Amino acid sequence: MMKTHENNTSTPGERAQALFQVLKQKELIPDGYIEQLTQLMAHDWSPENGARVVAKAWVDPQFRELLLRDGTAACAQFGYTGPQGEYIVALEDTATLKNVIVCSLCSCTNWPVLGLPPEWYKGFEFRARLVREGRTVLRELGTELPNAVTVKVWDTSAETRYLVLPVRPVGSEAMDEEALRALITKDVLIGVALPHVA
């Protein structure tokens, strides 16, 4: 029976399903559309993609040069472009510079290369605080930076989608490309973590 009161007694899931049902009844949802997109979002777009890009840049100077000059072309070599990853810029860390990515206005992320953004990246705390107190936020998350390292926060406020190209860590000299990939986590690609050799 239809309730007439204004109170929001429904759950988020019930509202999502209600919108889905209305569209389905009108036959506006193509067969397989949601399943295909969900496969991309939940599985194909993954930080393992970004790890491949970074590991190749660490071992192949020509690819590194391309990645820094034309990130879109470099990621396209792997097929890692698409929705929310159409104009890609790689941010080069150095011994004195740490890049970190945020979207203070919503949640913009390089989906094909980093995967969909995690909850904390979309949360009010990270969006509000990172731009203003980057060093403090990194410390709280577990990344302590020497004073000589400058923090540069990139606010994803238009169509550019970023990934961080971190400094190849000490101790990784003998590692091959496949072994290097394991050092490059989602948080390393966002820029809140540094890669470490275990």
Active site residues: 103, 106-108
The SS3 assignment for 106 reads: coil
Total chain residues near another protein (CB under 8 A): 81
In the complex, minimum distance from the CB of residue 18 to another protein, in angstroms, rounded to a whole number: 4
∠ at Cα 100 (166, 50), nearest 5°?
Answer: 50
Q: Would you count residue 76 as binding another protein (CB under 8 A)?
A: no
Exactly one of 131, 167, 182, 197 binds another protein (CB under 8 A); that residue is 131
User: What type of residue sits at position 56?
Assistant: K
Minimum CB separation of residue 128 from another protein in Å reads: 4
Strand partners, 162: 89
CB 165 within 8 A of CB 68: yes
Sole residue written with tokens 């590991």: 55
Tokens of 191: 């820029």
Which of these ranges, 74-82, 163-171, 174-182, 184-192, lies near another protein under the rule CB under 8 A?
Answer: 184-192
Alpha carbons 189 and 2: distance in angstroms, whole number: 48
The smaller minimum CB distance to another protein, of residues 34 and 59, is found at: 34
Question: Residue 169's closest CA among 93, 66, 87?
Answer: 93
Single residue of 68, 92, 143, 197 touching another protein by CB under 8 A = 143
Q: Does 49 bind another protein (CB under 8 A)?
A: no
9 binds another protein (CB under 8 A): yes
Residue 184 near residue 195, CB atoms below 8 Å: yes
Nearest to 108 by CA among 158, 170, 54, 70: 158
Task: List the one residue from 77, 94, 106, 176 that touches another protein (CB under 8 A).
Answer: 106
Q: Please report whether residue 73 would count as binding another protein according to CB under 8 A.
A: no
Q: Which stretch binds another protein (CB under 8 A): 56-64, 74-82, 155-163, 168-176?
A: 155-163
Told to check if 118 binds another protein by CB under 8 A, we report yes
Closest contact distance (angstroms) between CB of 64 and another protein is 18
Lookup: tokens for 12: 């988020």
